[in-house]
């Protein structure tokens, strides 16, 4: 998210000019020449000029763009009834029960929202209410949402300024930050931040993290490193909120939720993005007593959330994940993809580390030229009709995150294009050009 400045080039596209006129400073676009897309199917996107792009980036259409079962579920329910949840509807309860079955049994309540920003915002309020404390610990380039409160805990969105007193940033669980002892170093950093919050009279309400640390660079290893961190958080009186917006719904190939790779049990889980494969739906799984405490103070209601169309979309996504064995596919093809990338970069001095779990891979570049090289790779892949993104605090890593239906053929196409794009950047005498590159 650090790497999404607004486009200032290519004012020659009429559609781009319209966007800039319509959305102004909130125009956030990918690429030097933003893509105009018109159709999606599986892992493929079609541009207005007829070009097909292989999508190895977008994580919302996680079971594949325009999956026919999800499309049909949305169309059918939209034609029958779309209404808020102050009346009862069977499909909503069926969906909540399917979701609940995927969580540890003590997370027995689900609150549906429309966006993960809302889910994380609600989790913050619940954590402060339940603990009577105010402080939050997050990672240095965390991204948890775009509401007033969640922007406070999303340094990836900050262009300037410092964290507010109630928010403490810790370096993310990376080799760069902690060397070989990621678990020990990260746990100690969280303990220190908790102590600082306590000393300042704020106390620790919650530690919240994306279970795969997507915006921090995709930080996956060693699995289990969150175990001692969560113990430390609980010892300090805080709650642990697992943000599964990026890592949930089978993305890591190791179960439905990213926290499962770490063998930990959250107090709350927030989810979104892949949840409706494009239909806006998000949610919070929570221990009932925490929710009850909040609801002593306020009525929580969300007009669009929990409508039967959202539930129909969400149920179809869960069905497709099961029926098409997409978690297995993410594990198996993700491993092939990761191994292929590792083969290609082996011995390349530009690259410092390749990390991944399932279909979520980060490729970190070394040195001060890293962000420019990363951008050049992204543009180079786009020229080869493959879409990926960037991540990390300085945009120093590639973010590779195809839909869970990515096939062996698509893995092969990706690897061929990646090898070419990397070779081109590696061969450039002084790295890529210094012109503005946006993604």
Considering only residues 47-76, where is the footprint of its own copies by CB under 8 A? Answer: 48, 58, 60-61, 65-66, 71, 74-75
426: contact with its own copies by CB under 8 A: no
Report yes or no: 437 and 372 within 8 Å, Cβ to Cβ: yes
299: contact with its own copies by CB under 8 A: yes
Cα separation of 438 and 385, whole Å?
17
Cα separation of 112 and 272, whole Å?
10
Least separation in angstroms between residue 351's CB and its own copies is 26
Least separation in angstroms between residue 128's CB and its own copies is 9
Exposed, middle or buried, 132 (CB in 10 Å: 0-12/13-18/19+)?
A: exposed
Q: Give 175 or 384: the residue with its C-beta nearer to its own copies.
A: 384
211: contact with its own copies by CB under 8 A: no
Restricting to residues 22-51, which ones interact with its own copies according to CB under 8 A? 22-26, 28-30, 34-40, 45, 48
Q: How many residues bind its own copies (CB under 8 A)?
A: 102
Residue 390 half-sphere exposure toward CB, CA atoms < 13 A: 29
The full DSSP string for 194-207 is HHHHHHTT--EEEE
352: contact with its own copies by CB under 8 A: no
157: contact with its own copies by CB under 8 A: yes
Which of residues 159, 162, 349, 427 is near its own copies by CB under 8 A? 159
Residue 154 half-sphere exposure toward CB, CA atoms < 13 A: 19
- Which region, judged by CB under 8 A, interacts with its own copies, from 145-153, 194-202, 213-221, 358-366? 145-153
402: contact with its own copies by CB under 8 A: no
Which of residues 62, 85, 260, 390 is near its own copies by CB under 8 A? 85
Exposed, middle or buried, 409 (CB in 10 Å: 0-12/13-18/19+)?
A: exposed
- Which region, judged by CB under 8 A, interacts with its own copies, from 20-28, 211-219, 362-370, 377-385? 20-28
188, 420, 437 from 387: Cα distances, Å: 37, 14, 15
Quick check: helix, strand or coil at residue 408?
helix
107: contact with its own copies by CB under 8 A: no
Least separation in angstroms between residue 33's CB and its own copies is 10
Q: Give 57 or 257: the residue with its C-beta nearer to its own copies.
A: 57
Does residue 203 come out as left (phi exceeding 0), alpha (psi in the -120 to 50 range) or beta? left
């Amino acid at each position: 998210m650090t790497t999404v400045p607004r486009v200032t080039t290519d004012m020659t596209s009429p559609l781009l000019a319209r966007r800039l006129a319509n959305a102004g400073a909130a125009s956030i676009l990918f690429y030097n020449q933003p893509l105009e897309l018109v159709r999606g199917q599986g892992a493929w996107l079609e541009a207005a000029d007829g070009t097909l792009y292989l999508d190895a980036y977008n994580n919302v259409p996680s079971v594949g763009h325009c999956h026919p079962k999800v499309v049909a579920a949305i169309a059918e329910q939209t034609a029958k009834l779309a209404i808020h949840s102050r009346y009862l509807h069977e499909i909503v309860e069926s969906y909540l029960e399917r979701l609940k079955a995927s969580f540890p049994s003590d997370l027995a309540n689900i609150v549906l929202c429309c966006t993960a920003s809302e889910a994380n915002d609600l989790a913050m309020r619940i954590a402060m209410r339940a603990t009577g404390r105010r402080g939050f610990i997050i990672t240095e380039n965390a991204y948890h949402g775009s509401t007033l409160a969640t922007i406070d805990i999303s340094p990836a969105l900050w262009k300037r300024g410092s964290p507010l007193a109630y928010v403490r940033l810790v370096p993310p669980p990376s080799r760069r930050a902690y060397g070989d002892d990621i678990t020990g170093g990260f746990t100690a950093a969280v303990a220190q931040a908790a102590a600082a919050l306590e000393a300042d009279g704020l106390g620790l309400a919650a530690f919240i993290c994306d279970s795969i640390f997507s915006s921090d660079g995709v930080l996956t290893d060693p699995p289990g490193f969150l175990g001692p961190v969560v113990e430390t958080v609980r010892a300090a009186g805080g709650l642990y909120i697992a943000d599964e917006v990026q890592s949930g719904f089978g993305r890591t190939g190791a179960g439905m939720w990213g926290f499962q790779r770490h063998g930990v049990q959250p107090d709350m889980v927030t989810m979104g993005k892949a949840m409706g494969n494009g239909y806006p739906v998000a949610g919070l799984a929570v221990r009932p007593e925490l929710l009850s405490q909040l609801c002593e103070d306020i009525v929580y209601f969300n007009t669009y959330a929990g409508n039967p169309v959202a539930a129909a979309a969400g149920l179809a996504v869960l069905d497709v994940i099961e029926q098409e064995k997409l978690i297995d596919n993410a594990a198996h093809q993700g491993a092939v993809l990761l191994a292929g990338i590792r083969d290609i970069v082996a011995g390349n001095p530009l690259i410092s580390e390749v990390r991944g779990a399932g279909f979520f891979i980060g490729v970190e570049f070394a040195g001060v030229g890293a962000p420019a090289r990363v951008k050049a790779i992204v543009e180079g892949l786009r020229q080869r009709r493959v879409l990926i993104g960037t991540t990390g605090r300085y945009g120093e890593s590639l973010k590779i995150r195809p839909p869970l239906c990515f096939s062996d053929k698509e893995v092969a196409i990706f690897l061929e294009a990646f090898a070419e794009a990397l070779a081109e950047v590696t061969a450039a005498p002084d790295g890529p050009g210094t012109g503005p590159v946006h993604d």
